[in-house]
Amino acid sequence: MDINSIAKDVFEIESKEIANLANNITKDFEKSVNDIFNCNGKLIISGMGKSGIIGKKIAATMASTGTPSFFLHPAEAYHGDLGMIGANDIVLLISNSGETDEVLKLIPFLKSQQNITIGMSGNINSTLAKNCTHHLNIHISKEACPLQLAPTSSTTATLVMGDALAVALMKLRDFRDSDFAQFHPGGSLGRRLLTTVEDVMHKKSLPKCTKESGIKEIVQIVSEGKMGLVIVMRESDILGIITDGDIRRAMESMEEKFFTLQAKDLMSLNPKTVNSKAKLMEAQTMMSKYKVNSLLVVNNDKLIGIVQIYDLGI
């Protein structure tokens, strides 16, 4: 048995079904997106079994990208949790067959409360499709399961349709990375977007020298500073910067007079600087643009620190 071939078959089957999903898009998709966008309440998602698991993921994606949303288990809803659904809420009901009893039982209440409902199923003639405000067709022709029993392609199609809704809403909201970071303050992205350079910069015992400093002194300062650089100063003025790379290149190109060199012979003028109040993402963008690993932190023409790529938590 060729295990790798089995995996490749699954990828091929599911990728084809996802590609075919584009043919199922109707005006109901656009109407669903616009209704969710203009909704004054929440998007509540419900589904049983595997559909419910996918529904939880869709709700989580929505909530983290600007659409207030949560998952409501249909059985729990029918036994008391219907009170969680407000009149202004939109309810997305997921059932691949469109005939899941626990899901269909919610419809009379939702109709009586006049909620906008979005049905997501693989059967455009299903009870769910016929009784929702809008219907999103997630029909697939083949499961990846060799028995055609376990939800595989169908759950993938459900997930992708949910992602399509979320991305469309993100674009309508002009949802940006800074907005995303507000909902992810504990992640690395949130850290780079919300944390400032001042919070992570090195500000004590900065490696400095004068333009007359000799190579031996420079090497010692770079070694002791453990930042791979030294800042060339004249009193409080920044004249330039020397990196360990500058020193190595000088050793190769100026071997004969290397030990006679001074800082002024090695330094790079106009080192890149950043304000202490800049966000880490801004610092990262600068480092990437100028292909440097360190920035001098300067406020009002005064050196106050150094921030390096290792400080950004990338």
Could you write out the DSSP letters of every residue in 94-116?
A: E-SSS--HHHHTTHHHHHHTT-E
The confidence score (pLDDT) of residue 182 equals 61
The confidence score (pLDDT) of residue 35 equals 97
Q: What is the pLDDT along the chain (314 residues), one digit of tens a residue?
A: 899 999 999 999 999 999 999 999 999 999 999 999 999 999 999 999 999 999 999 999 999 888 999 999 999 988 888 999 999 999 999 999 999 999 999 999 999 999 999 999 999 999 999 999 999 999 999 999 999 989 999 999 999 999 999 999 999 998 776 666 666 555 556 666 678 899 899 999 999 999 999 999 999 999 999 999 999 999 999 999 999 999 999 998 888 899 999 999 999 998 999 999 998 888 989 999 999 999 999 999 999 999 998 888 76
Q: Which residues contact 51 (CB under 8 A, 6 or more apart)?
A: 94, 95, 96, 100, 151, 155, 158
35's tokens = 């209704």
Report which of 271, 274, 290, 279 is spatially closest to residue 313, judged by C-alpha positions.
279
The confidence score (pLDDT) of residue 231 equals 96
The confidence score (pLDDT) of residue 87 equals 93
Residue at token pair 């300067």: 298
150-154 contact pairs (CB < 8 A, 24+): 151/49, 151/50, 151/51, 151/96, 152/10, 152/13, 152/14, 153/13, 153/14, 153/17, 154/96, 154/122
The confidence score (pLDDT) of residue 179 equals 64
Does the predicted TM-score (pTM) go above 0.95? no
H or E element at residue 295: strand 294-299
d(CA 17, CA 158): 11
Q: Which residues contact 46 (CB under 8 A, 6 or more apart)?
A: 52, 55, 71, 72, 73, 74, 77, 91, 92, 93, 94, 103, 106
Task: Name the 3-class secondary structure at 269.
Answer: coil
Query: Residues 130, 134, 137, CA angle at the centre, nearest 5°?
Result: 80
With contact defined as beta carbons under 8 Å apart, do 17 and 137 qualify?
A: no
Phi-psi region of 230 (alpha: psi -120 to 50; beta: other; left: phi over 0): beta
Q: Which top CATH class is 197-311?
A: alpha beta
Task: Name the 3-class secondary structure at 285.
Answer: helix
Across-strand partners of 242? 230
d(CA 105, CA 229): 69
299-302 contact pairs (CB < 8 A, 24+): 299/275, 302/236
246-255 contact pairs (CB < 8 A, 24+): 247/215, 247/218, 247/219, 247/222, 250/215
CATH topology assigned to domain 3-175: Rossmann fold (3.40.50)
The confidence score (pLDDT) of residue 144 equals 93
Q: What are the sequence ranges of the domains in the chain?
A: 3-175, 197-311
The confidence score (pLDDT) of residue 189 equals 61
